Structure formats: C-alpha cells, structure tokens
Structure 1
Amino acid sequence: MKLTSEVEMAFREKMLWASAAATVVIWGWYFLGFVRALEAPSFNVGGEIGKFLFAVVALVVVQVVAAIALAISSPADAQAPADDRDREFALLAYRAAFVTLSVLIATLTVVAPMTMATAPAWLGGRPGSLAPIVISNALLLSLVIAELVRSATQLFLYRRGS
C-alpha cells in the first residue's frame, strides 16, 4: 500500500513539475516579449494580443500533452484518486497562492492610479492607452506568480514528505 502511495505521489509530482515548467517557459516568453514591445518605438496592440492568445493556447496544449504522456506512462497512477495527503497539500498550496494573489492585487490597486497619473512621463509621447495595457499585464503577471507559488508550495510539501 505504501508503494502505491509513493508511486501516486511521484505521478502527481511529475504533473506539477510539468505544469510549473510550462508556466515558466510560456509566460516567461510572453512577458519578456511584452517588455520588449513596450521598449520598442511603436507598440503593436494586435500583435501583442496575438502573442497573448498564442501563450494561452500553447499552455493548454503543452499541459494536455504532458498529462497524456504521463498518464500513458503510468495509467493506474493517473486514475488513482487523490488521497488525504494530496488533498492537504493542495489545500495548503491554494492558501499560499490566494494570499500571494491577494497581496499582489491589493498592491496593484494602490499602484494603478499612480501608474495612470505618471503615464505621460514614462510613455514618452506614445498613446496613453498603453497604461491600461500595462496594468492588465501586471494583473496577469500576478495570476501567473500566484500559480507558481501554488505549484512551488505543493512541490515543496511533496519533497519534504510531510
């Protein structure tokens, strides 16, 4: 019985690693490109929306392919329900992610009006419509960070073996 739990943990842990890696790579690519687009002389809104949609679709595809590959490699473990330990780890991880997201959103709520007020200075003559786009991407980044905190917390708990 203990061996099954360890194998199941390994499967869930592999899924977490795959998800976290895909999140870092895909959203890292997106946000790096977004910063570069902001630094460019002109900002192509349509192009950035396309990159955002590509990132969302890519993340879904990569995670589905990873889940299928891991499920094929160990089908019994993929079908096994989460045990009490898995549920406890997930709950603790969601709490950490919720606190992180709450703090980031509260911070952005305070910073957003300042961002709008200072936009003419940091936009350097570019359209003021970029400020809400920056704020929207900051909100998206908050969500991505919270997801990474969730994954990291859960992986830490699995590694610690509590």
Structure 2
Amino acid sequence: MASTSKKSAGAQAAAAVQVEPDLPDETLNVEEAVEAIVEPALEMQETVRHALEKGVVESRAAFVKAKVSAEEAANAFELSFAAVKDGVATFNTKALAAARANAEANFDFIKATLAVKSVSDLIALQNDFAKKQTDAVVVQVKDLAAVAQKTVVETLEPIKDQMSKSFKIAV
C-alpha cells in the first residue's frame, strides 16, 4: 500500500508537471474572460452614471423652473389681493357717500314737506324729489358699477398674466 500511495504521489507529480505548461494558456483564457465581462460592465456603468447625471441636471432645472413659477404665482396673487383690498375700500367709500347723499336728500325733503302750505305744493315737491333722487341713484349706481368693474379687472389682470406666462413656459 505504501508503494501505491507513493506511485500515486509520483503519478500526481508527473501529472502536475504536465498540467503546469497548460496553466499559462488557461490563465490567459481566464483573464480574457474576465476582461470580456468587466469591459462591458464598465461601459454599462459609465452609461448609467451619465444617464443619472443628466437626470439630476434636468431635475434641478425643472425644480428651478417650478420654484420660479411658484414665486411668480404667489406674487400675482399678492397683487390681486392688493387690488381687491383697494377696490373694496373705494367701493365702500363711494357707497357710503351715496348713502349719505341720499339720507341728506331725504332729510331735506322732509323739512321741505313740513313747510308746504298746500297739497298741490306737496305733490309738486314730491315729484321734484322723486325725479332728483331717481337721477341721483342712476348716477350712483353707474359710479359703483364702474368701481366694481375696475376692481374686477385689476384683480384678475395679475392672475391672467401669470396664467398666460405659465402656459407659454409649459408649451
């Protein structure tokens, strides 16, 4: 048995001697195989890296556009709210002035009716008062309508401008 194991060891050594010349060829084949796998993997990695970098740049640009658009929209709403505030203040001032003028006209009419001596004078006074008040109310309503229309236009103008800018940017 000892000789069998020695022969086996000797046979193995002889076989190893024969395998050693084949190793450099196999090593070259393994290196070529590794290069064949690594090179496309590196190219793919570079392609993915480039695509990701491009995506990051485009995302940043889109974020900047969105941020600018949001800031412009906020400014448009601020201008709109300021126009509403000013318009409502003007409308209220005109409405109070109209109410005051109408109240003064009514008090003047009542004073005048107390000084009337006949029914025919009262009827004439009533007709004159009704005509003046109708004309005054028509003028007051026109003034209030003009203020309301101006307020609506000034309120919607900043928003309309911003919307048209946003659609131009989006398209």
Same fold (TM over 0.5): no
TM-score interval, normalised by the smaller of the two chains? 0.3 to 0.5
TM-score, reference length from structure 1: 0.39
The structure with more radius of gyration: 2
